[in-house]
Structure formats: C-alpha cells, structure tokens
C-alpha cells in the first residue's frame, strides 16, 4: 500500500479538545471511583491521586459532567454548600449522596489541568435554573447565586467557558424528553438567559443526525449556539451484555464518520458551518450495560437492574478491538477537524472507560494508550493524505451477521508545531502484517515508530496482567519517502522529527 502525504496542504488545526473525556454519576465513575474520601490513596479533598495522575498523563483537555442521563433530573443546588441532602436519581434509580457537586467538579478539573464542560438539566430543569448555574460559576459577586458560591468558600468565579443545554432529550429514555418543537423553544430561551449572564460562554445543545430535530433546533437557537452536540455508541448492549467480537468491531469502523457528514450537511445547508462546530461529546465503541432501567417495564430487584452494571467493569471486555476502533475514531475526527472541535470519550473511568480503578490501584486499558499516543503526537495541523490506487479491503462479519468490506489500513497525518510530521497508521487486519510506503515530498528527518499492540486481538489488561502496551523502534531516516511494517491489529504513530 502506498500513500502520499502533502505536509503543506492543511485541512485545518487539530483542536486538542477532540481528545476530551466525560464522567457521570453512574455506578463507580464518581463514588468509589475518582471521589473516594475513605480510600488511603485519596488526597485531602477526597480524590484518588493515582487516578488524577493517570488523567494528567494523557493530558485530558476538557471534561464533560455531570451527565449523561443523570443530569436530566439533577438540580445543581442540591450539590453545593455545607449541608447536602441525598437525592434519588430517577435516571439510574439509585440514591446520590450529593457529596460530589459543582465545587468538587471544578476542583477535579483544576487538579487534572483541564477545562470544565458542564451539561445542564434540560429535562426537569428550567431555563432559569440553567442560567442560575452560570451565575454561580461565573459571576464575580452579583446576585444571590454568585454570593452563594462566595458563602460556600469560593471567592473567585470559576469562569466555566463550555456549557451544554441538555443531554439526549430527543430520546424516549431520557427524563424530560422533548419533541423537536419543544426542544427548539426551550434551548432558545435557555441560551438567551445563559448568555445574558455571561456573553463569553460557549454553548452546545443536544442534537443527533436527524434533519427535523436539527432544523428546528438551529432555526430556533442557531444564533446563540457555538456547538452542536452529537452522541454515538456502536456496539449497543444496554439490555444484553454481549460484546461484539473483533471482526464485528472492525465492521463498525466503516461508518464512524456518518454522523459528522450528516450534521455537517445540515449546518452547511443552513449556512452555519462557519459559526457552529460539532462537539462529538459522548462516544465510545461499546454502550453501557444497564438493563431494566430505560425500559417501560422496570426491574424490581437490585439483582435485575443494579448488580448487572458490574459487568461493565469486566476488563476482559476491553481488547485490541477497543483500541483499534478508538484510534480509527480519532483519525476520523482529525480528518474532519475543520468542523469537529471537541469529542468526549465516555466515560474516562470505570464502566467502559480507559482507566479502571479498584481499592488498591488502577488498570490502564488499551484505550488509555491510544489517548497517550494521540495527545503526545497527533497535534498541530491535519494535512492531506491520499492513497495510490484502490484501497486494500478486508471482509468481516458484522454483529448482525452481514458481510462487510472495510479498509484494512486507516490513516491520518499532522504537521506538528515543532515542524515535524506525525502519521497515525491503524492496521485492522486480525492476523496479517501490512507494509505501507509513505511518500512525503519535502519531508526529511529521523523516524520513530510507536506501536500499541497485544499478542492477539483478544489481549487485554487487568489487575496483575498487562498484555497491551506501547513499544518504540527506530524507523530510519526519511528522505521524501519511508516504508514501515504494521503489525496485525495494531495502532501506530510514525513520528518524523524535522531534520
């Protein structure tokens, strides 16, 4: 296979926020996860220091919170102040102690060094409640909500820049679901009030690749929006925990960019593509497992609807399939960097996250190392890549038992700030190595290959078991061309330092 990379032909700047993350009040993400005051590994604020350090190592740029479905019945005032009353979370049917709220979230973001991104309650909440939350976070001292923050011990405003109106309010599963017309009206009034509080905030609103929903939203609220939110999971298993095998996961890579293409088309048709960017602010290969909750007939015993959530934390689920898929997703976001400015892996911790925590430590799943490589090397400006001839295809069997043809190699390239070039090369083939020749006119320098892999497609990391990791090897000098070997089922970054 041969590809040409024109390092002078840029597609746009790669926003660091496409490597963002997400955390929700679901199962062990917050409590008995990042926020665990009784754990010996936690600091004086109750945060697990080992998890914080792991998040810092992958340079988390932005964190979305508090949901997710949780937010659509969450009232932010219950989670601030010295006296907090537990509340029943109607989305996930558990009691939330409210000991982790807005102030704790801001502390978490500051410890990591990332931007906070707050998703508001557009389910049971109101436009006034959403704008009051902006007051609490961003005003110096005007009004009762800023004074409440000061009384709670936080004299300086948080200056939260990124806000989302709602979560998946288009879905019947969401508390406070809305019709397209209802959504357009609510988002317009909410956005108007929120920007009256702080005109410098950037607003997103829940959307999906649906013409009717988005046209209503953009006609009603487009003048206020800076972002449009898109969510997607490919391997759906909310009711039955039956993870797709490696081949089926590769079949999912054939349509990663479909939602981006469709939303881009709507924005372009409405002449908003220069004003509003796409925030792919909740994504993962595999959906969360939470049976008998988002259904008409609810589970009655904890064993029916809470205990099964532990299956999300079976580390053997997260194999090279997850790593390869995630790298292909990030490549797609890089190739669409002119319209995609943010993406948030859901979640960062436990459930389907890239980090798994237990009482005495953490496990870094394969997807963690994908983020480590991309945040380190795939930055700067995306540059054009094209193949010489027809792309090599491989046939795989989808989860629905259809035969699907997918490209064997997925590629994206970047011209980095230091003048070098980085190339992301993903070999999806389960068993075969692939040789790739890259033509890079005018590029000279020393090449190093970083490879993420395991012995098999089913390799995984667990407590006391590390089968997926990164290796480094010299790839020779580049004088306008270079050939590299890609291991089977591998994620690779070729880093070419400027001569």
| Residue positions annotated with a catalytic role | 168, 282
Looking at beta carbons, which pairs linking 50-53 to residues 24 or more positions away fall under 8 Å? Answer: 50/357, 50/361, 50/362, 51/349, 51/355, 51/357, 51/362, 52/108, 52/111, 52/112
Measured CA distances, 87 to 74, 79, 129, 181 (Å): 9, 10, 17, 31
**Cα separation of 26 and 29, whole Å?**
6
Return phi, psi of residue 408, to 5°.
-70, -40
* 3-state SS class at 356: strand
**Cα separation of 239 and 221, whole Å?**
35
Taking only Cα atoms into account, the Rg of the chain, rounded to an integer number of angstroms, comes to 23
Other CB atoms within a 10 A radius of the CB of residue 487 amount to: 18
* Residue 490 and residue 451 in contact, taking contact as beta carbons nearer than 8 Å: yes
**Cα separation of 334 and 326, whole Å?**
12
**Cα separation of 10 and 382, whole Å?**
6
Q: Which helix (H) or strand (E) holds 430?
A: none
Burial 163-191 (b: 16+ CB within 10 A, else e): bbbbbbbbeeebbbebebeebbebbbbbb
Percent composition of the chain: helix, strand, coil (DSSP 3-state, to 5): 30, 30, 40
- Nearest to 276, CA basis, from 267, 285, 284: 267
Is the backbone peptide bond immediately before 179 cis, with ω within 30 degrees of 0?
no
Q: Is 23 exposed, middle or buried (0-12, 13-18, 19+ CB in 10 A)?
A: buried
């Amino acid at each position: 296979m041969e590809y040409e990379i024109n390092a002078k032909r840029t597609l746009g700047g790669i926003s660091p926020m496409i490597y963002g993350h997400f955390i929700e009040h679901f199962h062990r993400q917050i409590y008995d996860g990042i926020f665990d005051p009784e754990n010996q590994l936690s600091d004086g604020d109750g945060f697990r220091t080992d998890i914080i350090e792991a998040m810092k190592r992958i340079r988390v740029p932005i964190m979305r919170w508090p949901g997710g479905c949780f937010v659509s019945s969450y009232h932010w005032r219950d989670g601030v102040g010295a006296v907090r009353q537990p509340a029943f979370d109607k989305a996930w049917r558990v009691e939330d102690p409210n000991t982790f709220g807005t102030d704790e979230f801001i502390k978490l973001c500051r410890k990591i060094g990332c931007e906070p991104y707050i998703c508001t309650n557009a389910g049971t909440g109101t436009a006034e409640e959403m704008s009051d939350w902006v007051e609490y976070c961003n005003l110096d001292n005007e009004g009762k909500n800023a004074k409440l923050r000061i009384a709670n011990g936080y004299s300086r405003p948080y200056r939260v820049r990124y806000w989302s109106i709602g979560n998946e309010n288009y879905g019947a599963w969401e508390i406070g679901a809305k019709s397209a017309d209802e959504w357009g009206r609510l988002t317009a009034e909410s956005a108007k009030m929120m920007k009256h509080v702080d005109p410098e905030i950037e607003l997103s609103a829940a959307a999906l690749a649906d013409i009717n929903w988005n046209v209503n939203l953009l006609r009603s609220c487009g003048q206020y929006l800076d972002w449009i939110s898109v969510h997607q999971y490919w391997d759906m298993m909310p009711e039955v925990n039956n993870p797709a095998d490696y081949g089926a996961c590769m079949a999912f890579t054939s349509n990663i960019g479909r939602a981006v293409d469709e939303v881009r088309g709507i924005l372009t048709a409405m002449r908003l593509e220069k004003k509003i960017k796409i925030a792919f602010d909740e994504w993962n290969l595999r959906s969360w497992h939470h049976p008998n909750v988002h259904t008409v007939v609810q589970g009655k015993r904890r064993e029916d609807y809470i205990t099964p959530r532990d299956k999300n934390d079976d580390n053997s689920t997260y194999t090279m399939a997850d790593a390869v898929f995630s790298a292909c997703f990030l490549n797609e976001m890089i190739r669409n960097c002119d319209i995609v400015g943010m993406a948030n892996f859901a979640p960062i911790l436990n459930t389907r996250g890239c980090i798994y925590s237990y009482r005495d430590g953490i496990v870094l799943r394969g997807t963690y190392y994908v983020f480590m490589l991309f945040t380190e090397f795939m930055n700067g400006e995306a540059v054009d890549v094209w193949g010489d001839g027809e792309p090599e295809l491989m046939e795989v069997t989808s989860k629905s038992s259809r035969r699907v043809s997918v490209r064997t190699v997925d590629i994206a390239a970047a011209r980095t700030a230091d003048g070098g070039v980085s190339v992301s090369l993903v070999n999806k083939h389960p068993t075969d190595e692939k040789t790739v020749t890259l033509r890079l006119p005018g590029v000279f320098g020393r090449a190093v290959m970083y490879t993420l892999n395991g012995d098999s497609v089913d390799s995984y990391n667990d407590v006391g078991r590390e089968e997926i990791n990164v290796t480094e090897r010299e790839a020779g000098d580049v004088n306008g061309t270079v050939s590299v070997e890609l291991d089977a089922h591998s994620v690779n970054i070729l880093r070419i330092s400027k001569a």
